[in-house]
Amino acid sequence: MSTTAVPPMIQMTAVNKWFGVFHVLKNISIEVAKGERIVVCGPSGSGKSTMIRCINALEEHQSGRIVVNGTELARDLKKIDLVRREVGMVFQQFNLFPHLTVLENLCLAPVWVRKQPRAEAEANAMRYLERVRIPEQARKYPNQLSGGQQQRVAIARALCMNPSVMLFDEPTSALDPEMIKEVLDVMVELAEEGMTMVCVTHEMGFARSVANRVVFMDGGEIIEVQPPEAFFHAPKSERTKLFLSQILHH
């Protein structure tokens, strides 16, 4: 059906979602190609988190189709778990497991979900910790780390499952300014390696340098999808202009 030779990594078609009577997502349609980096932005409450949480079924959509790497998200729990293994997610609040050490946080899912041998999982985990530049913290507990370090552990934890897509939901909003860069650097590297990424973020510098396309949402709708250059310099919609003027110079 798709005209491109390579099927898209994520395909959302006319997705609608309601919280009770509140219509959070209205006819969301978007395709994300393999290796593409998408930045999603928009005012608070516009449904950005809800949208990316639909991609790994943390939220259930009520109509429309979501296909991730060839698997359609339906009510089938098996399929949901299948998709979740392929999709890594990084949360605003890190959500590390506080009762486990950093290394245990990283190895848990590979060992129990992917059934990797523990030694292999640990070696793999150490490699990812090196990539996010904190191998020396492996034996510590999450609460003994700074926010920036915790978020990097969270990224490494998601990467340990060897995902095809990474979702980021405002990964730097809970961080002190001096720690934002260390997390963004890791994300930029990841992008350079060709990871398919969907990032909800208000870091416009990151959007400019990394994104292939910027998605602007408001009131549960996708208002505008543009390459960053066009998005920042020639936004089409008035709402986008208003939003940009608010976040770029305040």
Partner 1 sequence: MTDAALPIAPPRTGPTAWLRTNLFGSWRNTLISLGSFALLVWAVPPLLDWFLFESRWGDTPPAECRKAAGACWAFVHEKHRLILFGRYPFAEQWRPLVGMAILLGLIGASCYRPFWRRWLLAVWAVGIAVMAVLMWGGVFGLRFVETTLWGGLPLTFLLTTVGVGAAFPLGVVLALGRRSKLPIIRAVSIGYIELVRGVPLVSLLFMASFMFPLFMPSGVQINALIRAQVAIILFAGAYLAEVVRGGLQAVPRGQIEAAAALGMGYWLTMRKIVLPQAIRLVIPGIVNSFISTFKDTSLVAIVSLSDLMLSTRQAIADPLWRPFFVEGYVFIGAIYLVFCFLMSRYSQHLEVQLNTGRRR
Ligand X SMILES: Nc1ncnc2c1ncn2[C@@H]1O[C@H](COP(=O)(O)OP(=O)(O)OP(=O)(O)O)[C@@H](O)[C@H]1O
Residue ranges in contact with Mg ion by CB under 5 A: 49
Nearest by Cα to 199 from 45, 10, 48: 48
Contact 113, 160 (CB under 8 A): no
What single DSSP character describes residue 8? P
| Residue 44 binding partner per list partner 1, Mg ion, ligand X, none, with a CB distance cut-off of 5 to 8 Å that depends on partner kind | ligand X
- 45 scored as a contact of ligand X (CB under 6 A): yes
CB of 16 to ligand X, least distance (A): 13
Out of 8, 12, 15, 50, the only residue in the binding site for ligand X (CB under 6 A) is 50
| SS3 (DSSP) at 36 | coil
- 3 scored as a contact of ligand X (CB under 6 A): no
- 74 scored as a contact of partner 1 (CB under 8 A): no
- 100 scored as a contact of partner 1 (CB under 8 A): yes
- Positive or negative, the Cα torsion across 167, 85, 193, 10? negative
Residue nearest to ligand X (CB): 49
- 105 scored as a contact of ligand X (CB under 6 A): no
Distance of CA 184 to the CA centre of its chain: 13
CB of 43 to ligand X, least distance (A): 7
Q: What is the side-by-side order of every strand in the sheet holding 10-19?
A: 22-32, 10-19, 63-68, 71-72
| Residue 50 binding partner per list partner 1, ligand X, Mg ion, none, with a CB distance cut-off of 5 to 8 Å that depends on partner kind | ligand X
CB of 5 to ligand X, least distance (A): 33
Write the CB contacts of 104 (distance below 8 Å, at least 6 apart in sequence).
97
- Binding footprint of ligand X, residue count (CB under 6 A): 11
- 47 scored as a contact of ligand X (CB under 6 A): yes
CB of 49 to Mg ion, least distance (A): 3
Query: How far, in Å, CA of 187 to CA of 199, rounded?
Result: 10
Out of 8, 42, 47, 88, the only residue in the binding site for partner 1 (CB under 8 A) is 88
* Cβ-based nearer residue to partner 1, 88 or 228: 88
From the DSSP assignment, how many helices (H) and strands (E) are in the chain? 9, 10
Write the DSSP assignment of 132-184 as a string of letters.
Answer: TT-GGGTTS-GGGS-HHHHHHHHHHHHHTT--SEEEEESTTTTS-HHHHHHHH
Q: Site residues (CB under 8 A) for partner 1?
A: 56, 58, 77, 81-82, 84-85, 87-89, 91, 93, 95-101, 108-109, 112-113, 141-144, 157-158, 161
Q: Site residues (CB under 6 A) for ligand X?
A: 19, 22, 24, 42, 44-50
